[in-house]
């Protein structure tokens, strides 16, 4: 892999209260290179959004970064001043949030909002207008002039997602982080939007982090997948490898719960029973053990760190996949 465009190292996020600090994101390492697409997958509450918000120091109080580094092309963003961060946000690093309606002003026309965002990054007004029309066309919206003069409530969910992607792309970011931009939409639309971003990425070599609940959505379209569970990355691997031979039981369970031919040869786990633990209140040992069909004694005592599984994959599990059933 070429040098990382964005690198998150040992990130810890927590929430302070009277009796101490609850750690919710518990040492996350992720990186994405220029031109690469990384999928970040995990159940609700696994810490995906908090990790991404930390990149731009946008955590809502009382949440706070407890430790770790965020490097953008080698520059440590954790120590950047507010002025520099404002330039990075929506400039070099663009983020598309979970809920488009929360990021758009309902009272302003869509075009005005994109123009304003560009102007905030120093683009002169005429150039901002031209760029707005250009990006609205690039994201496959029919009649960009009409969309430009629409208010958000006049557009469908799928159209709003495309508007959000257009706004994110308008400043030609080095890194695009899309935090589950399509949760409320059906899987076909999710894949269309990711397809679109892939096509645009081929021209710009931007790095993309695509955050989702749904492993199926990213299967075809990302280069690598990081699976998060209870505030940590529990497996990271090249996409093809992860689908062909998962090395963490949680990934195996996620794959088995997907429809599709990729899993036909694998012994199904059918579904993942139980619920994920609250990362702030974990008992000792592996956080997945209450749901893991392969747990052994050691799993209740010691939490595994990421272990090299070869071919670019790592997994936080004490057991080699060959031994799962024994």
Residues making contact with ligand SF4 (CB under 6 A): 249, 286, 288-289, 292, 294-295, 299, 304, 317-319
Residues 6+ apart with CB under 8 A from 229: 42, 43, 46, 250, 276, 287, 288
User: Who contacts 20 (Cβ-Cβ below 8 Å, separation ≥6)?
Assistant: none
Question: Which one, 97 or 288, has the nearer CB to ligand SF4?
Answer: 288
DSSP string, 73-132: TTEEGGG--HHHHHHHBTTTEEEE-S-HHHHS-TTS-HHHHHHHHHHHTT--HHHHHHHH
Binding partner of 30, given Mg ion, ligand SF4, ligand ATP, none, CB within 5-8 angstroms per partner class: none
> Least distance from C-beta 243 to ligand SF4, angstroms?
18
Mode of pairing for the β-strands spanning 313-315 and 232-238: antiparallel
Q: Which of 11, 28, 41, 50 binds ligand ATP (CB under 6 A)?
A: 50
* Partner interacting with residue 317 (select from ligand SF4, ligand ATP, Mg ion, none; CB below 5-8 Å by kind): ligand SF4
Tell whether residue 47 is a contact of ligand ATP (CB under 6 A): yes
Give the number of residues in contact with ligand ATP, rule: CB under 6 A.
15
DSSP string, 224-243: EEEEEETTEEEEEEEHHHHH
Q: How far is the CB of 213 from ligand ATP (least distance, A)?
A: 6
- Contact string 26-65 vs Mg ion (x = CB under 5 A): ----------------------xx----------------
Stretch touching ligand ATP by CB under 6 A, among 42-50, 131-139, 164-172, 193-201: 42-50
Give the integer Cα–Cα distance in Å for 305 and 38.
21
Nearest to 210 by CA among 46, 49, 42, 40: 40
- The entry of ligand SF4, Mg ion, ligand ATP, none that residue 129 binds, CB within 5 to 8 Å by partner kind: none
Binding mask 209-248 for ligand ATP (x = CB under 6 A): ----x-----------------------------------
Residues 193, 197, 203: CA angle, nearest 5 degrees: 155
Q: Which residues bind Mg ion (CB under 5 A)?
A: 48-49
């Amino acid at each position: 892999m070429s040098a990382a465009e964005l690198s998150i190292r040992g990130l810890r996020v927590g929430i302070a209260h009277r009796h101490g600090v609850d750690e919710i994101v518990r040492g996350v390492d992720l990186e994405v290179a220029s031109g690469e697409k990384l999928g970040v997958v995990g159940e609700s509450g696994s810490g995906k959004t908090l990790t991404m918000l930390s990149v731009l120091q946008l955590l809502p109080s009382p949440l706070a970064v407890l430790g770790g580094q965020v490097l953008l092309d080698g520059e440590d963003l954790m120590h950047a001043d507010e002025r520099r961060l404002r330039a990075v946000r929506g400039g070099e690093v663009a983020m598309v949030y979970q809920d488009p309606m929360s990021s758009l002003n309902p009272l302003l026309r869509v075009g005005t909002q994109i123009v304003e965002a560009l102007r905030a990054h120093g683009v002169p007004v005429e150039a901002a207008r031209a760029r707005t029309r250009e990006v609205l066309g690039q994201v496959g919206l029919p009649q960009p002039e009409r969309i430009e003069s629409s208010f958000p409530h006049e557009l469908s969910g799928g159209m709003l997602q495309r508007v959000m992607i257009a706004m994110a792309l308008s400043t030609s970011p080095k890194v695009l982080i899309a935090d589950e931009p399509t949760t409320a939409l059906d899987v076909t639309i999710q894949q269309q939007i990711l397809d679109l971003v892939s096509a645009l990425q081929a021209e710009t070599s931007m790095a993309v982090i695509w955050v989702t609940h749904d492993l199926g959505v990213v299967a075809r379209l990302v280069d690598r997948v990081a699976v998060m569970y209870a505030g940590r990355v529990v497996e990271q691997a090249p996409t093809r490898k992860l689908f062909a031979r998962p090395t963490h039981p949680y990934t195996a369970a996620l794959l088995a719960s997907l429809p599709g031919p990729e899993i036909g040869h694998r012994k199904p786990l059918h579904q993942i029973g139980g619920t994920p633990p609250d990362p702030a209140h974990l008992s000792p040992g592996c956080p997945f053990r209450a749901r893991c069909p392969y747990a052994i004694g050691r799993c209740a005592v010691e939490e595994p760190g990421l272990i090299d599984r070869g071919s670019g994959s790592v997994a936080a599990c004490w057991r080699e996949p060959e031994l799962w059933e024994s």
